[in-house]
Amino acid sequence: MASQAKARLAEENPYLAGRREWNERYGDFIARESRWRMLAMICAVTTLFSVGGIAWIGSRSKLVPYLVTIDPSGNALVGHLAQQTPADDNIVRALMAGFIEDWRTVSVDAGSQSRLIDHVYAHLAGGDAALNSVNAYYREHNPYQLAAKETVAVAIKSVLRTSAEAIEIEWSEEERDRKGNVRLRTAYKAVATTALNPPTKEEDIMRNPVGFFVKEINWSEEIASP
């Protein structure tokens, strides 16, 4: 038996025997390394997509609009508008009332008057009829020139929604001379067409947070008394 085994070993190819021994010893290691290499590639691709997604989300604008108003005492009131719906009629009517007050008020303080005018134009868009109407009014009633002899205080009486886009506003104006004496009280009514165009740029958000615009406005004098 021993001699037969030696004969078989002598007849066996030594290279084949070495290859079998290599496979038996290291083949399992090589297979495991291949599996780990594949797993590492999958992890790398997953990480690449994750980092790319985070970068894309981070690059998107996350500006949050705020509504800033001034109460009668001169205090700033800041309201967060992220939870407000664009069509909130209360906000639209309040902005319409503020537009009328800013537009028709005449102040002896040149700085305050400039801010009022800036607020008015923040709600007007080029090409709209309202812009032409307001420009024409300012040409005939220059507030800086009027302030040399009088002031005008505006009191809003009502702001009513008459259709999906139209609002009717009633207000009164009280003119006083530079000594504070009442010269004239006048009532007005106007019908305005409005639109909402929410801003996307930060500079527009600061000027007009909800994108409220007056597209067209027509007004008339109701009552005048000395």
Does 184 have pLDDT greater than 80? yes
pLDDT for position 13: 55
Confidence band for 144, pLDDT divided at 50, 70 and 90: very high
More confident site: 98 or 204:
98
Q: Identify which of 138, 41, 48, 156 has the alpha carbon closest to the alpha carbon of residue 94.
A: 156
pTM (whole model) above 0.85: no
How many helices, marked H, and strands, marked E, lie in the chain?
A: 7, 6
Average pLDDT of the chain, as a whole number: 80
Confidence band for 12, pLDDT divided at 50, 70 and 90: low
Q: Please state, in angstroms and rounded to a whole number, the distance separating the CA atoms of residues 176 and 182.
A: 4
- For 86-102, b/e burial (b = at least 16 CB within 10 A) is eeeeebbbbbbbbbbbb
